[in-house]
Amino acid sequence: MTDLNKLTIAGARDALRKGDVTSAELTQSCLAAIDGAGALNAFVHNTPDVALDQAKAADARIKSGDAPAMCGIPIGVKDLFCTKGVASQAASKILEGFTPEYESTVTTQLFDAGAVMLGKLNMDEFAMGSSNETSVYGAAINPWRRAGDAAALTPGGSSGGSAAAVAADLCLAATGTDTGGSIRQPAAFTGITGIKPTYGRCSRWGIVAFASSLDQAGPMTKDVRDAAIMLQAMCGHDPKDSTSATLPVPDFEAALTGDIRGKTIGIPREYHMDGMPAEIEALWAEGRRMLQDAGAKIVDISLPHTKYALPTYYVIAPAEASSNLARYDGVRYGYRAALGKGDGITEMYEKTRAEGFGSEVQRRVMVGTYVLSAGFYDAYYNRARKVRSLIKRDFEQAFAQGVDAILTPTTPSAAFGLGEMVDADPVQMYLNDVFTVTVNLAGLPGVSLPAGKDSQGLPLGLQLIGQPWAEADLLNTAFALEQAAGFHDKPQKWW
Amino acid sequence: MSIDIETASRVAKLARIKVSDDALPALAEEFNNILGFIEQLQEVNVDGIEPMVSVTPMPLPRRVDDVTDGNQQAKVLANAPDAREGFFAVPKVVE
Amino acid sequence: MLDLTYEAPKVKTISGAKSDWELVIGMEIHAQIASNAKLFSGASTKFGAEPNNNVAFVDAAMPGMLPVINDFCVEQAVRTGLGLKAQINLTSAFDRKNYFYPDLPQGYQISQLYHPIVGEGEVLVEMGEGIARRVRIERIHIEQDAGKSIHDMDPAMSFVDLNRTGVALMEIVSRPDIRGPEEAAAYVGKLRQILRYLGTCDGNMQNGNLRADVNVSICQPGAYEKFIKTGDFSHLGTRCEIKNMNSMRFIQQAIDYEARRQIQIVESGGSVDQETRLYDPDKGETRSMRSKEEAHDYRYFPDPDLLPLVIEQSWVDDIAARLPELPDQKKARFIADFGLSDYDASVLTAEAENAAFFEAAAAGNDGKLAANWVINELFGRLKKDALDITQSPIKPEQIGQIVSLIKSDAISGKIAKDVFEIAYSTGRDPAEIVETEGLKQVTDTGAIEAAVDEIIAANPAQVEKAQANPKLAGWFVGQVMKATGGKANPKAVNDIIMTKLGL
């Protein structure tokens, strides 16, 4: 077989089980693809030795008949996951040289299932960004280009390296994390599938924290079936994470029947934003029609506090981040600034953090510091927590009316050019998360899948939002939509 | 709410991020931008609404009081920028 | 209840140059919970390990690490609350207190600001017989301890040890009900006693397992009463917080110094700055901690890594049912059941082990006599040998035997001391010692009569003198005791002599 790196997880799994390919071959194929894709800047720490060892072990396991679905599947891992003995620096200078002595729960589970790690993937620094431009490694590049235009586009963020790598077939799948849309927005920008599960589904242990009450890991894959397979391996109860749910994990792949007859899909009227491109509106309407054709009942719903989701998010996430990132102080690991004569501990902190954090991270840490500071806590932080309760209540009311899932666009636009937003104020960039961030605030599962292209040939995604813990049902709805949309396009290789 | 240079400087100090004096005006302006954006929250009626405590309500799990961890000085110090004699070393702290 | 009979102690006043001043003191006691593992990690809490050895990655705040709470620590906080007759809050929550310090790896301390696990309670602090201060407890919350920074190992660097980082503390916050340095020390002592009875904290102040932050202010006589009536702090002076005191003696000294310092400032027309101070025991003075003075803003907010802590009333009830008898109750019972004096009862209940020893010795015996023997003989002897009660070579049952031998007239008090000494140094049973060594009192009147007759017959002159002056009959008692090797029952000897002499 050629182009093994282009296989899906399901395809590779079946071939591995049949003995048509070995994990070593799959892995070699991906490693070669990675070698040829330096221009994408997706992989930032390559681990070929780890990969080949794991592939060998996986092949032995497959031979012995003990082969879980992920066994022998080469994947990429977002740099936010701590991987034992492998550089893990959240794309930040402040974690320069940091090599954890421990393995995150999610990657442990993936490796226990036999997955093969090809390397660590680019991302926005500390997962703060929507374009991958805040990375210390430089931006990852979207394998897609506008028709007839060689301008480099963003793969989205923060899981931009993961998205670029999967879209360019450098790996079969990748891990991502999503705090305000960081799996779904890059998935939409690169024509792949990504799911953020219900808060508490995946353990956060060993994942560098951005905003603890919002962060969730999830898979980024080539299709919905792969998302189901990989999510299955990633999630489950972890006693090391106090917010990890004790619920059993259903068989997600088995739920993919494509039959959504009788399901009720809600269309939230507040997601019709002023100035949203007509193409996005059209795609959304198309998605609505496809689901209806598949037998679902479509209802218009209202999520009245949608408008306040972004400001709520931009209080809560920076507040938590300002505290979560206080540990990067140059004392126990990572970067420590060179000190001048007479510099004491305070100068050490201030210089280390000024030199070690990029400007977006600094901005959010300081905004978070401000909203928590004396005299402002109630006006900002506590008020944001109350509005968050209202946002969650909006969803609960919709679900109480019998809505099984909610259909929205994933993003308000297709991928934009790198550097295009440099001069815009940060708030403009934040608007990228407008459709995704509500899902994090309400702790719900959300999946993005490619459903069409814009006039310049760039992929566009639709988002489905499910009830808490209803990932199986949500993935099945996504599967039905995927079949109807029939999006199989790949970026043309230019790198 | 408008943030002046002095407030920006105080926030930077609290966050232990060095910001040079000439960068403060721009920082204050950025803050004002973002705060102007989140100012929208003031228009929401939150009377009688409880602040969200946890997005997926469940009981706090508790661990048994057994020693299951630690005893790993080398691993704890492995990534330290400056470790000496089993300690993390930092510039002198004056109390 | 018993404590209704207590009277409040006199408020300590200090004379300034211009007038008299009263003291108002509130305390925050940090008590290390006696757990095996840390509050949020599985690392050991053992004291004295190699630096940075008892450290889990959570304690070192490695990226991505998460806290999981230790159930035992929660239980100990509840026990302590119950022991202080306090309100137990079935729902509490953890908040982050944010500040930068090298021995605070997370950059925040996990504590409970908004919803502590224990609410209002009280401690009765005895200041003499029938006199006690009732100190109200405002709250108890659970929090993480910080690590240790060592500043004197290198001229340019400070060294950080995280072994202590994340160890569970209870912070016990009092109302400003303490009115003098002695009361403050007694309050710490009483709290320490209760914690040790409960077993929730070992009370070891030297190792820092119990330490106090002391808030001191001064006011004019009468002002405190206005504060109590209205709850308005403006009636009180500006307070200073003296941090991290781990000796009762130093607590007294520091408060005394601090009060006088404040009086001097106020009387000379100045005003006291609200600040954090440190006591220097070498110089005997407090000084401002400048490093803590720069605008602190802890930015408390609920820890998103931890859900609210919800406990069941049935669990609390179960803990309450298993609570040991506490010092106040025990002391009252000793007084009532054994007829002990207030003083003896206090001495015997100071430590739970002493009380248990006494009770075992007094079982089925004369309690008062047993108390005498434990306090006067045993404690004295143990002190001489620098032993504590748990190391006593003589068992409580053996003291009990001595007491019952005395009580049954089998031995005299004098012989009993010899028996005690033998039992203490050999471990032999007193009953056996008396038997083997032939120390039993002679109560056989025939034998005593014979001895008396013999001495009367041999000393006719003395007989005459005694018959003229009965006070001199004592000479015969002495002679008989001598003749019987001290074993004759002195009362029997006396009776027989009086009869024989016709007195």
What's the rounded mean pLDDT across residues C99-117?
Answer: 97
What's the rounded mean pLDDT across residues C276-293?
Answer: 84
CB burial readout C124-159, b (16+ within 10 A) else e: bbbbeeeebbebebbbbbbbbbbbbbeeeeeeebbb
Point out the catalytic residue in the list A23, A29, A78, A159. A78
Domain at A4-257+466-485: CATH architecture: Alpha-Beta Complex (3.90)
Domain ranges within chain C, ordered by starting residue: 2-295, 324-436, 445-500
pLDDT at residue A118, as a whole number: 98
Q: Is C107 on the interface with A (CB under 8 A)?
A: yes
The model's pLDDT over C339-397, given as tens digits with 9 standing for 90+, comes to 999 999 999 999 999 999 999 999 999 999 999 999 999 999 999 999 999 999 999 99
Determine which of A99-113, C30-44, C198-212, C408-422 has the lowest per-residue pLDDT on average.
Answer: C408-422
Residue C121 CA neighbour count, 13 Å, CB half? 25
The model's pLDDT over C88-98, given as tens digits with 9 standing for 90+, comes to 999 999 999 99
The model's pLDDT over C250-271, given as tens digits with 9 standing for 90+, comes to 999 999 999 999 999 999 999 9
Q: Which of C58, C149, C162 sits opposite B93 (nearest CB)?
A: C149
Residue C310 carries which DSSP code?
Answer: E
* Residue A452 phi, psi (nearest 5): 175, -175
C-alpha pair distances (Å), A216 with each of A366, C64, C95 = 23, 12, 22
Q: Which of A104, A206, A349 sits opposite C100 (nearest CB)?
A: A349
Confidence grade of residue C295 (pLDDT, cut at 50, 70, 90): low
Confidence grade of residue C293 (pLDDT, cut at 50, 70, 90): very low
Domain with CATH 3.90.1300.10 in chain A: 4-257+466-485
pLDDT at residue C171, as a whole number: 98
Whole-angstrom distance, CA of residue A308 vs CA of residue A66: 50
Whole-angstrom distance, CA of residue A33 vs CA of residue A422: 31
Q: Please calculate the CA angle A5-A7-A10 and round it to the nearest 5 degrees.
A: 135
The yes-or-no answer on residue A78 being catalytic is: yes
- Amino acid C203 reads G
Is-contact A317 A392, C-beta < 8 A? Answer: no
The model's pLDDT over B13-58, given as tens digits with 9 standing for 90+, comes to 999 999 999 999 999 999 999 999 999 999 999 999 999 998 988 9
Nearest to C44 by CA among C26, C24, C70: C70
- For residue A324, the SS3 value is helix
Q: Which of B54, B73, B84 sits opposite C159 (nearest CB)?
A: B84
**What kind and span of H or E run contains C443?**
none
- C322-329 contacts: CB < 8 A, separation 24 or more? C323/C79, C323/C82, C323/C83, C323/C198, C324/C197, C324/C198, C324/C199, C324/C352, C325/C197, C326/C83, C326/C194, C326/C197, C326/C198, C327/C190, C327/C193, C327/C194, C327/C197, C328/C2, C328/C3, C328/C124, C329/C2
pLDDT at residue C468, as a whole number: 86
Q: Is C61 on the interface with B (CB under 8 A)?
A: no
The model's pLDDT over B56-79, given as tens digits with 9 standing for 90+, comes to 889 999 999 999 999 999 999 999
C344: tokens are 């003896």
Mutate: best of C74, C301, C306, partner A, most A CBs <10 A = C301
Q: Please calculate the CA angle C310-C108-B86 and round it to the nearest 5 degrees.
A: 115
pLDDT at residue C500, as a whole number: 85
Nearest to C65 by CA among A242, A352, B54, A364: A242
pLDDT surpasses 80 at C485: no
Residue C49 carries which DSSP code?
Answer: P
Nearest to C94 by CA among C298, C316, C305: C305
What's the rounded mean pLDDT across residues A298-304?
Answer: 98
Is-contact A379 A429, C-beta < 8 A? Answer: no
**What kind and span of H or E run contains A293?**
helix A278-293
pLDDT at residue A274, as a whole number: 82
C432 C-beta neighbours (distance < 10 Å), count: 13
For helices C445-458 and C474-483, what crossing angle results, to 10°?
A: 120
The counts of H helices and E strands in chain A are 15, 11
Is-contact A183 A218, C-beta < 8 A? Answer: yes
Whole-angstrom distance, CA of residue A412 vs CA of residue C502: 125
Whole-angstrom distance, CA of residue A409 vs CA of residue A429: 17
Determine which of A148-157, C316-325, C463-472 has the lowest per-residue pLDDT on average.
Answer: C463-472
Point out the catalytic residue in the list A88, A182, A203, A244. A182
- Give residue for tokens 């790690």: A117
Residue A5 carries which DSSP code?
Answer: G
Mutate: best of B4, B34, B58, partner A, most A CBs <10 A = B34
Domain ranges within chain B, ordered by starting residue: 5-42
DSSP C165-192: TT-EEEEEEE-S-B-SHHHHHHHHHHHH
The Cα of B58 is separated from the nearest Cα of chain A by a number of Å equal to 8
Which chains sit next to C, with 3 or more Cβ pairs under 8 A? A, B
Whole-angstrom distance, CA of residue A282 vs CA of residue C53: 61
pLDDT at residue C4, as a whole number: 53
Whole-angstrom distance, CA of residue A32 vs CA of residue A55: 15
pLDDT surpasses 80 at A129: yes
pLDDT at residue A398, as a whole number: 98
pLDDT surpasses 80 at B95: no
The yes-or-no answer on residue A182 being catalytic is: yes
Whole-angstrom distance, CA of residue C489 vs CA of residue C64: 81
Determine which of A91-95, A282-286, A289-293, C8-12 has the lowest per-residue pLDDT on average.
Answer: C8-12
pLDDT at residue A149, as a whole number: 96
The Cα of A199 is separated from the nearest Cα of chain B by a number of Å equal to 7
Nearest to B52 by CA among A213, A241, A145: A213
pLDDT at residue C3, as a whole number: 47
- Give residue for tokens 């960004």: A129
Q: In this complex, do A88 and C100 lie within 8 Å of one another by their Cβ atoms?
A: no
The model's pLDDT over A29-57, given as tens digits with 9 standing for 90+, comes to 999 999 999 999 999 999 999 999 999 99
Q: Is C53 on the interface with B (CB under 8 A)?
A: yes
Q: What is the CA radius of gyration of chain C?
A: 31
Whole-angstrom distance, CA of residue A58 vs CA of residue A403: 42
From chain B, the residues in CB contact with A349 under 8 A are 16
pLDDT surpasses 90 at C26: yes
The Cα of C74 is separated from the nearest Cα of chain B by a number of Å equal to 9
Point out the catalytic residue in the list A88, A158, A159, A162. A158
C445-500 is a CATH 1.10.10 domain: yes
Mean pLDDT taken over chain C:
93
The yes-or-no answer on residue A158 being catalytic is: yes
Which residues lie below 8 Å from residue A363, measured CB to CB, with a gap of 6+?
Answer: A426, B30, B34
pLDDT surpasses 70 at A1: no
Q: In this complex, do B41 and A312 lie within 8 Å of one another by their Cβ atoms?
A: yes
- Measured in residues, chain A has a length of 495
Is-contact C64 A204, C-beta < 8 A? Answer: yes
The model's pLDDT over C41-88, given as tens digits with 9 standing for 90+, comes to 999 999 999 999 999 999 999 999 999 999 999 999 999 999 999 999
Which chains sit next to B, with 3 or more Cβ pairs under 8 A? A, C
Predicted ipTM of the assembly: 0.97
pLDDT at residue C89, as a whole number: 98
The model's pLDDT over A365-424, given as tens digits with 9 standing for 90+, comes to 999 999 999 889 999 999 999 999 999 999 999 999 999 999 999 999 999 999 988 777
Q: Which of A95, A204, A372 sits opposite C66 (nearest CB)?
A: A204
3-state helix, strand, coil in chain C (%, to 5): 40, 20, 40
